[in-house]
Amino acid sequence: MYRPFKKIIIDSDAKNELDDQYAITYAVLSESFDIRGFTASHYGKNGSMEKSHEEILHVLNLLGRSDNYSVLHGAVEALSDSKTPRDSDGAQFIIREALETKDSLYVICIGPVTNLASAYLLEPAIQDKIKCIWLAGKAWPEGGLFFNNRNDIIAAQLIFSSGIDLTLIPSVGTANKLKVRIQDRLHIKGRGRIGDYLWHLFMRRLGISKAIYDVVSIAALKIPHSCTWLTAPRPELRSDGTYYHNRTQGTITVITDINAENIKKDFFTCLKRAS
């Protein structure tokens, strides 16, 4: 029986590190999703959203897909408070896609959740149409600040307290188990222009192993059997990134472990399509 691909938007702070580029490549080459588009996110620095927007376009160009997807500008900085959205083309795109879908729209956030939180503030009705997959924080169940939540903790708290379906992938304790190593060269370099670029990004670290956190957020939807899933009461998110489990509302899904070798093998299989 035919089953439609999951509709996804990838919200990415792509210029920050190298794992966003790997994740975008994985999503596009997996041919497993209805990718509605990409929204660019800031990463806590002036001009960072614009740089992320340019980087998303660059990766899509290397993949030969620059004309296939919408790439929208998002918020240029974090929320100033929990009631004032940062309106942007990206936030409006999320709203439009969510309201138009007949089923669910997955918003895969691999940066701060400023754009999604802003969309929710602008149009709360989207909470019933969106499933958010967010890579952020330190290991469950304690939590803690770690880049993505640190770059907009107010937006993070807003998403936690909302009714949006939320799957959390801890950056530390879960996603950091997936690493690229120097011995992976044969699987990456030479796989088209994108493979050479991904390897170039890695080699700027002089061959030092690097976690490719964001790839796990794609694998969670593509090969969910490679992840260990937990459903728990949804805790309050404190300003220091830790979770207060004595005050809960609804439920949260957490990916507590991964089969890193399975995910990396699947990523390499998809990357072969680039060559």
For 75-90, the pLDDT digits (tens) are 999 999 999 999 999 9
Is the torsion defined by CA of 132, 138, 140, 142 positive or negative? negative
Residue 107 lies in a domain: yes
Report how many domains make up the chain: 1
Q: What is the pTM of this model?
A: 0.97
For 56-73, the pLDDT digits (tens) are 999 999 999 999 999 999
Residues 6+ apart with CB under 8 A from 211: 19, 175, 176, 177, 178, 179
Q: Token pair for residue 235?
A: 């805790």
Residue 229 lies in a domain: yes
Residue 158 lies in a domain: yes
> Residue 221 to residues 33, 141, 181: CA-CA distances in angstroms?
9, 22, 24
Residue 60 lies in a domain: yes
Distance CA 205, CA 200 (A): 9
* pLDDT score, position 216: 98
Give the percent of the chain with pLDDT over 90: 96
Reduce the DSSP state of residue 29 to 3 states and report it.
helix
Q: Token pair for residue 249?
A: 């509302």
Residue 1 lies in a domain: no
Distance CA 256, CA 1 (A): 32
Q: Domain containing 87: what range? A: 6-274
pLDDT tens, the chain, 275 aa long: 345 699 999 999 999 999 999 999 999 999 999 999 999 999 999 999 999 999 999 999 999 999 999 999 999 999 999 999 999 999 999 999 999 999 899 999 999 999 999 999 999 999 999 999 999 999 999 999 999 999 999 999 999 999 999 999 999 999 999 999 999 999 999 999 999 999 999 999 888 999 999 999 999 999 999 999 999 999 999 999 999 999 999 999 999 999 999 999 999 999 999 98
Distance CA 84, CA 11 (A): 20
Q: Token pair for residue 226?
A: 């490679």
* pLDDT score, position 2: 44
For 228-250, the pLDDT digits (tens) are 999 999 999 999 999 999 999 99
Distance CA 46, CA 38 (A): 20
Q: Write the CATH number for 206.
A: 3.90.245.10
Distance CA 248, CA 258 (A): 26
Residues 6+ apart with CB under 8 A from 97: 7, 9, 36, 37, 105
Distance CA 156, CA 38 (A): 19
